[in-house]
Chain A
Amino acid sequence: QVQLQESGPGLVKPSETLSLTCTVSGDSFTYYVWSWIRQSPGKGFEWIGYIASSGHTSYNPSLKSRVTISQDLSRKQLSLQVRSVTAADAAVYYCARTGFSGYYVVDHWGQGTLVAVTS
């Protein structure tokens, strides 16, 4: 059974960079597409982007200039960086497995990690 676990600081200062890691266990990392999605009370779910095993990435146009998703195949990890954060970036951040039905349908989610943005 695949498991996804997000990790990273729960608190980030405005204008700094938010960095999260997701570790995947129990399944093939290279067969699927892996995504980051966030959920905030005000905006609901927002897709951030995905990375395929080839390294191909796709980002939400509204975040593209500030976001980088990368992967470490040997460690079965994906990472997220969001630069120049503001209060609007405060959310629960999920890593997610997609790719079984297109690039966006999620069949497995991490438990999520809450990120607050405050000085």
Chain B
Amino acid sequence: DIQMTQSPSTLSASVGDRVSITCRASQSVDTLLAWYQQKPGKPPNLLVYKASTLQSGVPSRFNGSGSGTEFTLTISSLQPDDSATYHCQQYDTLTSFGQGTRLEIK
């Protein structure tokens, strides 16, 4: 099984800040990596797939990068609506998810 590890587990930042969340895979997943945003009591929302392809309708302040075993989701200018938990998902070998990163707005 491929293990996905996200860091940090919790992140607190201010509106306008640039923030980054890291996802590491226990073995290479090439670029078969997706990112989701989830708000409390709601299902996730797809942000990025294939490591860096922005899903239609997702604001351009979200950016995904990386390949192999290390990936990053960057929010260039944090907005109040970005308060959520972010999850990575590899889909190179079956699929597995990271444990989530909770992003709080100060």
* Chain A residues at the B interface, C-beta cutoff of 8 Å: 44-47, 60-61, 94, 101-107, 109-112
Contacts and interface: CB of A to CB of B under 8 A. Distances in A.
B50 A104 contact: no
Contacts of A46: 97
A47 B34 CA distance: 14
B55 A102 contact: no
A46 B4 CA distance: 12
Given A45-B89, A107-B55, A109-B43, A102 B97 contact: no
B50 A101 contact: yes
Interface residues of B, number: 21
B86 interface: no
A57 B42 CA distance: 27
Given A44-B98, A44-B99, A45-B97, A103 B43 contact: no
19 contacts: A44-B87, A44-B99, A44-B100, A45-B89, A45-B97, A46-B97, A47-B94, A47-B95, A47-B97, A61-B94, A94-B43, A103-B91, A104-B95, A105-B34, A105-B49, A105-B91, A106-B46, A107-B55, A109-B44
3 shortest interchain CB distances as A-B pairs: A109-B43, A45-B97, A104-B91
Given A44-B100, A109-B43, A60 B94 contact: yes
